[in-house]
């Protein structure tokens, strides 16, 4: 397989459950193989290699800080899960691979993640609030307004948000605006109407940002096979996409 992966406002764990050599992930001229963590803003990212079973877990960045302890270092990167979790990565893979069913795998995954959630200090409530407000508004909020809502200065919010989540509030808003646009494109909407509805200046603006986030054009995102694999984060059907068989997954952890 050779599939372009589409950016999403989450940190993604891809746990390789295949026997033998699994998928490889290429970005920024580097390749990682096996179980990986995909940070925010990975850019032009492709999954290559043979098909196999894989458990995908979406982590809201606020949760990723607790579960991974390295959210800021992961922004823009794809790293081996072993580099993040050490020996615990191999233990998790073995338990998940040996499970008798996907339901059992989901239970094991939730147990592993739940055990880690309380292991590290959470992000500031103001930072968590800002992320979720930006998410629910689909990126169409002003940083100054959010700073007023949490009672901080713009400078303090910008600094704390970046130090804890690895990106600026403005970049987070751009990612969420892109995510909304990608959903509309995948659902078959024309690029011109998507640009207007998602808050872009014009269709050229949409094209530039889609290209920057994925390395793809808007028409290519609309038919990207990766979106057909992920039926939790993306529409279940589209007039322009064909279904692709992939591994099982669990919903976002928020």
Average pLDDT, the chain: 84
Per-residue model confidence (pLDDT) at position 238:
45
Band (252; pLDDT cuts 50, 70, 90): very low
* pLDDT given for residue 119 in this prediction: 67
Contact 223, 240 (CB under 8 A): yes
Confidence band, pLDDT 50/70/90 cuts, at residue 200: very high
- C-alpha–C-alpha distance, residues 34 and 248, integer Å: 16
Nearest 5°: the CA angle 209, 212, 217 is 75
Q: What is the mean pLDDT of residues 239-248?
A: 40
Residue of higher predicted confidence among 214 and 154: 154
Lowest mean pLDDT, pick from 49-53, 114-118, 233-237, 241-245: 241-245
Interval 123-145: pLDDT, tens: 899 999 999 999 999 999 898 99
d(CA 160, CA 166): 10
Residue partners of 76: CB distance under 8 A and separation at least 6 = 28, 39, 40, 41, 42, 43
What pLDDT does residue 247 have?
Answer: 42
pTM attached to this predicted model: 0.84
Q: What is the pLDDT of residue 170?
A: 93
Average pLDDT, stretch 7-14?
90
The pLDDT score that the predictor gives to residue 209 is: 93
Report pLDDT for 69. 74
pLDDT of residue 214: 87
> What are the tens digits of pLDDT across the range 13-62?
999 998 767 788 888 778 888 899 998 888 888 888 776 788 989 899 98
pLDDT of 148-174, one tens digit each? 999 999 999 999 999 999 899 999 999
pLDDT computed for residue 251 by the predictor: 42
């Amino acid at each position: 397989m050779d599939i372009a992966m589409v950016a999403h406002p989450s940190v993604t764990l891809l746990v390789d459950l295949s026997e033998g050599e699994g998928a490889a992930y290429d970005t920024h001229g580097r390749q990682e193989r096996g179980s990986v963590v995909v940070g925010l803003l990975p850019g032009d990212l492709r999954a290559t290699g043979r098909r196999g079973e894989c458990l995908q877990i979406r982590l809201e960045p606020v949760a990723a800080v607790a579960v991974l302890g390295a959210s800021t270092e992961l922004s823009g990167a794809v790293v081996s899960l072993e580099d993040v979790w050490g020996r615990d990565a191999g233990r998790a893979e073995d338990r998940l691979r040996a499970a008798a069913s996907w339901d059992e795998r989901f239970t094991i995954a939730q147990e592993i993640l739940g055990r880690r959630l309380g292991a590290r200090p959470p992000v500031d409530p103001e930072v968590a609030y800002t992320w979720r407000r930006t998410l629910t508004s689909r990126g169409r909020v002003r940083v100054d307004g959010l700073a007023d809502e949490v009672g901080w200065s713009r400078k303090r919010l910008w600094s704390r948000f970046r130090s804890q989540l690895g990106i600026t509030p403005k970049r987070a808003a751009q990612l969420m605006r892109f995510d909304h646009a990608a959903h509309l494109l995948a659902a078959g909407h024309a690029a011109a109407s998507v640009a207007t509805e998602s808050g872009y200046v014009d269709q050229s603006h949409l094209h530039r940002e889609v290209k920057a986030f994925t390395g793809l054009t808007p028409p290519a995102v609309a038919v990207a096979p990766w979106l057909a694999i992920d039926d939790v984060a993306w529409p279940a059907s589209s007039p322009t996409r064909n279904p692709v068989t992939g591994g099982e997954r669990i919903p976002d952890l928020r």
